[in-house]
Chain A
């Protein structure tokens, strides 16, 4: 009886097009049910990271979904928020790899014992992150702790940290986004123009972003993305982020969110609004 009610509930949500969260594996059925042609879809930053970074817990799921989008010829759209978040994660990725590489026995680096101690403490945390399926990337606060070892108190870090950044980061962030955008054929929605984009039903306004954030305590960046989705002609967003899925599900809008199967079964499937 309980299961029957659950099926009825899901069917009703689908019938009335209320916010849906679907696992990647149901993409074929989802496309079959869509009545109108799909002009495109939005993707979030976690999906873009998952599809390119083999350390990401949803690496294989993201690849599956990307290939499905290619198969169905669905254009992928990104926004300023996605770009800025992706670049930020790449920054943390590159600097984490550089810092941790200094501890490798085969590395050419020669760092002081004190710096080794600082970096080892960070590595312990990084390993714990990886073991718990979280992204093994240093946070900004941890990067700051490392930075202090490379900029003596009496100096600005001009010789040291700045040169390290110059050799490892310079040009890399711009290039990372260019590669992604070029090879994955990403489209970009520019929301700054006066004219309404071809892919938008309405202008994106700040006050709607506040409401979205307030509804489920969604971060401002994610709220901006969900706001763009709600104002767009796209029926769905591809995400690897529980918070975005939860927000779309809670919104009762006509939009859907496609998420990795594991995330769906563990955290979303049992939720009722």
Chain B
């Protein structure tokens, strides 16, 4: 429709398919064995921490309930 200076880029029909393919290729499918090991360890530490936190929370609730007027303390 218009004449443009050289520096202006015009979209081309084939460009879209190329963009989609290259963006798809960029997706990483499998993790490295090193990362698998690290994540396994880390998520298990995280799980243990959460269990510890839950126990502390339960103990806190139990301790507080002993100090309620109903408990007579």
**A interface residues (Cβ-Cβ under 8 A, vs B):** 31, 37-40, 51-52, 63, 66-67, 69-76, 94, 97-98, 108-115, 148-155, 159-161, 163-164, 167-168, 172, 175-176, 179-180, 182-187
Contacts and interface: CB of A to CB of B under 8 A. Distances in A.
Given A73-B1, A152-B49, A163 B35 contact: yes
27 contacts: A31-B1, A38-B2, A40-B8, A52-B20, A69-B11, A70-B10, A72-B1, A73-B10, A76-B11, A108-B30, A108-B31, A110-B40, A112-B43, A114-B43, A115-B46, A115-B47, A150-B42, A152-B42, A152-B46, A153-B49, A160-B38, A167-B32, A172-B26, A179-B22, A183-B19, A184-B11, A185-B9
A114 B50 contact: yes
B11 A151 contact: no
A116 to B, nearest CB: 9
Contact of B38 (A98, A112, A163, A175): A163
Contacts of B12: 70, 185
Contacts of B18: 183
Given A113-B47, A184-B15, A184-B19, A151 B42 contact: yes
B61 to A, nearest CB: 20
B43 A179 contact: no
Contacts of A164: 35, 39
Interface in B1-30: 1-2, 4, 8-13, 15-16, 18-20, 22-23, 26-28, 30
A180 B44 CA distance: 39
A154 B44 CA distance: 13
A75 B31 contact: no
Given A114-B46, A149-B46, A185-B9, A180 B19 contact: yes
A130 to B, nearest CB: 18
Contacts of A168: 28
B45 interface: yes
Given A37-B1, A75-B4, A151 B19 contact: no
A184 B1 contact: no
Nearest to B53: A153
A179 B19 contact: yes
A187 B9 contact: yes
A184 B16 CA distance: 6
B14 to A, nearest CB: 9
Contact of A112 (B11, B19, B32, B47): B47
Given A52-B20, A73-B2, A75-B8, 6 more contacts: A75-B4, A112-B43, A150-B39, A152-B49, A159-B42, A167-B28
Interface string B32-73: 110110111011111101100100000000000000000000
